[in-house]
């Protein structure tokens, strides 16, 4: 176990030291042991790191070493002992912040294996295994999410980037229909396109609009109902210059825009529809929740995360597009040295060129769960959210939203009271929640997004909320 414990010194070249690590494997065994020690105890520790753990992070600081000195084992041990306690217990059952998602063990294990292959997902010639798994995952996703059969998937870092891809493909196609090659002409010479989104559209949609140079002032915002759903009757007149951005899963309430009527209006006008379904698109894979995404296949592009609801490892997002020509044209890239082929060359569908092999862990996740396993996972998140609603009400809390998916919004008072409540809950170590704003009022937001959350975790979290309220 400790045979590589000598610092690399003059008599051993760096190459020799690293070669010995590869051959002996003890460094990697040690990493796995640290990882297992963490995973086994994650539910016993405070969900938020305690103040001492945060202070101890300074131990990782110091001047840039002049050269090799410490052993790799010592470095790894330091990371485990100082870094591990300064994580939030996201892989445990009581992290309810953001919309994060836990981690499926088979996907994590596949990731550990694939990381040691260190493949570049760029093209088939460089990583045939990834390329083939991208094709397989694409086919499975089309089936699970009931997408048009020609849909292409880009394996990107997350929904933020998937939205950029979807809007770029939309722009390319709408301009092309109007006789303009947007790639060559640029926005200054292009026909003016209209961007239409609900007032509750996600901040990353607004970011994508800014990044692509449309200008956020140009967004035509559409009113929403009390659950934060776009009101179809409030849509402006659509035409062939419009990109309509819908939401499957409001980041606060979890509500879904009425997809079918909006898509039908867009279709009649020749407009493009992009659906941001970062966490909610997976409703389509569930018999009990599919009503939420009715009409989804009428859109032209979709963005969804594998790292949220599906519980795949970070970072893993999917850009899906029913117009492959538009997607490839919008993300065009070529070079004399890039060996593209008749096989699937993943970089044609992503903004990045070099990438990690996200399809490998996604494949493991989908293969492990299968169709009914995905439904069980997603419906379980919904059931836990409903349990939150029931138990919160029983404990005297006010729940503000209809719990249609995995999100629960609580009213605990004004801004100061909300911030203090959140801080007390986090300090208790019992659960991790975040504050948000809902129709201009402060709220506490609970997002159930990990397979690891059990009914007992929900009850324990509600008890912690009651204690935090009574502590006031
Ligand atoms: C999380 C989220 C995003 C952004 O996704 P990332 O994977 O963090 O880039 C976009 N839209 C919605 C509705 C989200 O919940």
Model pLDDT, residue 1: 42
Ligand 1 site-directed mutation target among 165, 202, 436, most atoms within 8 Å of CB:
202
Residue 90 near residue 100 (C-beta atoms within 8 A): yes
Task: Collect all residues with Cβ–Cβ distance below 8 Å to 464 and sequence separation of at least 6.
Answer: 425, 428, 430, 431
Model pLDDT, residue 2: 43
Which residue has tokens 């035509």? 220
Residue 224 near residue 253 (C-beta atoms within 8 A): no
Instruction: Report CA(160)–ligand 1 centroid distance (Å).
Output: 6
Residues facing residue 410 across a β-bridge:
399, 444
Q: Which of 297, 290, 444, 253 is nearest to 378 (CA)?
A: 290
Instruction: Report CA(189)–ligand 1 centroid distance (Å).
Output: 31
How far does the chain reach from its first CA to its final CA, in angstroms? 52
Question: In Å, how far from its chain's centre is CA 376?
Answer: 19
Residue 216 near residue 206 (C-beta atoms within 8 A): yes
What residue ranges line ligand 1, CB within 6 angstroms?
A: 99, 158-160, 202, 204, 249, 251, 276, 278-279, 305, 317
Question: In Å, how far from its chain's centre is CA 440?
Answer: 26
Instruction: Report CA(281)–ligand 1 centroid distance (Å).
Output: 12
Q: Which of 173, 181, 192, 126 is nearest to 357 (CA)?
A: 126
Instruction: Report CA(279)–ligand 1 centroid distance (Å).
Output: 7
Sign of the CA dihedral running 58, 60, 62, 63? negative
Peptide bond into 150 cis (omega under 30): no
Instruction: Report CA(162)–ligand 1 centroid distance (Å).
Output: 9
Following CA atoms 245, 246, 248, 249 in sequence, which dihedral angle do they give, to the nearest 10 degrees? 90
Angle at 203 between CA 226 and CA 319, to 5 degrees: 105
Instruction: Report CA(11)–ligand 1 centroid distance (Å).
Output: 51
Please provide the size of the chain in residues. Answer: 472
Ligand 1 site-directed mutation target among 100, 208, 276, most atoms within 8 Å of CB:
276
Here the tokens at position 19 are 């070669």
Residue 184 near residue 175 (C-beta atoms within 8 A): no
Task: Write out the E strands in 238-373.
Answer: 242-247, 272-276, 301-305, 317-321
Instruction: Report the distance separating Cα 446 and Cα 406, nearest Å.
Output: 8
Which residue has tokens 């997603």? 378
Model pLDDT, residue 339: 76
Ligand 1 site-directed mutation target among 159, 162, 164, most atoms within 8 Å of CB:
159
Q: Each residue's pLDDT tens digit in the chain (472 positions)?
A: 444 555 555 568 999 999 999 999 999 999 999 999 999 999 999 999 999 999 999 999 999 999 998 999 999 999 999 999 999 999 999 999 999 999 999 999 999 999 999 999 999 999 999 999 999 999 999 999 999 999 999 999 999 999 999 999 999 999 999 999 999 999 999 999 999 999 999 999 999 999 999 999 999 999 999 999 999 999 999 999 999 999 999 999 999 999 999 999 999 999 999 999 999 999 999 999 999 999 999 999 999 999 999 999 999 999 999 999 999 999 987 777 777 788 999 999 999 999 999 999 999 999 999 999 999 999 999 999 999 999 999 999 999 999 999 999 999 999 999 999 999 999 999 999 999 999 999 999 999 999 999 999 999 999 999 999 998 7
- Which residue, by CA, sits nearest to atom 1 of ligand 1? 278
pTM of the model: 0.96
- Which residue, by CA, sits nearest to atom 9 of ligand 1? 160
Q: Which CATH class is domain 108-366?
A: alpha beta
Concatenated DSSP letters of 346-361: GGGGSS-SS---HHHH
Ligand 1 site-directed mutation target among 98, 101, 155, 204, most atoms within 8 Å of CB:
204
Domain ranges for the chain, please list them: 24-92, 108-366
């Amino acid at each position: 176990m400790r045979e590589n414990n000598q610092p690399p010194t003059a008599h051993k070249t760096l190459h020799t030291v690293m070669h010995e690590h590869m051959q002996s494997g003890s460094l990697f065994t040690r990493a796995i042991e640290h990882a297992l020690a963490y995973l086994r105890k994650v539910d016993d520790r405070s969900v938020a790191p305690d103040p001492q753990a945060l202070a101890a992070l300074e131990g990782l600081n110091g001047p840039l070493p002049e050269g090799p000195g410490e052993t790799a084992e010592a470095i790894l041990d330091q990371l485990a002992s100082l870094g591990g306690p300064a994580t939030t217990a996201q892989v445990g059952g009581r992290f309810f912040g953001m919309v994060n998602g836990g981690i499926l063990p088979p996907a994590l294990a596949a990731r550990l294996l694939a990381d040691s292959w260190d493949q570049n997902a760029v093209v088939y010639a460089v990583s045939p295994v990834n390329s083939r798994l991208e094709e397989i995952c694409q086919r499975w996703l089309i089936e699970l999410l009931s997408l048009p059969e020609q849909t292409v998937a880009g394996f990107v870092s997350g929904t933020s980037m998937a939205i950029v891809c979807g809007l770029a493909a939309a722009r390319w196609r709408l301009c092309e229909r109007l006789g303009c090659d947007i790639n060559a002409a640029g926005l200054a010479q292009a026909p003016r396109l209209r961007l239409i989104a609900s007032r509750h559209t996600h901040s990353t949609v607004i970011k994508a609009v800014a990044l692509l140079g449309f200008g956020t002032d140009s967004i035509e915002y559409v009113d929403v109902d009390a659950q934060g759903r776009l009101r179809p009757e409030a849509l402006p007149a659509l035409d062939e210059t419009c990109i309509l951005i819908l939401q499957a899963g409001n980041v606060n309430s979890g509500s879904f825009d009425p997809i079918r009527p909006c898509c039908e209006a867009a279709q009649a006008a020749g407009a493009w529809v992009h659906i941001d379904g970062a966490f909610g698109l997976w409703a389509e894979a569930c018999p009990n929740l599919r009503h939420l995404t009715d009409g989804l296949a009428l859109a032209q592009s979709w963005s969804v995360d594998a790292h949220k609801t599906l519980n795949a490892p970070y970072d893993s997002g999917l850009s899906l597009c029913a117009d492959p020509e538009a997607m490839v044209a919008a993300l065009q890239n070529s070079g004399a040295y890039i060996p593209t082929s008749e096989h699937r060359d993943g970089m044609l569908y992503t903004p990045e060129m070099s990438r990690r092999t996200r399809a490998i862990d996604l494949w493991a996740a989908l293969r492990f769960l299968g169709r009914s396993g995905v439904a069980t996972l997603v419906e379980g998140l919904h059931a836990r959210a409903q349990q939150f609603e029931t138990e919160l009400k029983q404990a005297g809390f006010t729940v503000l939203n209809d719990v249609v998916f995995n999100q629960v919004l609580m009213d605990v008072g004004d801004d100061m009271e909300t911030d203090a409540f959140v801080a007390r809950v986090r300090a208790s170590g019992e659960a991790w929640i975040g504050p948000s704003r809902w129709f201009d009022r402060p709220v506490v937001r609970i997002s159930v997004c990990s397979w690891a959350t059990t009914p007992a975790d929900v009850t324990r979290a509600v008890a912690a909320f009651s204690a935090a309220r009574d502590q006031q």
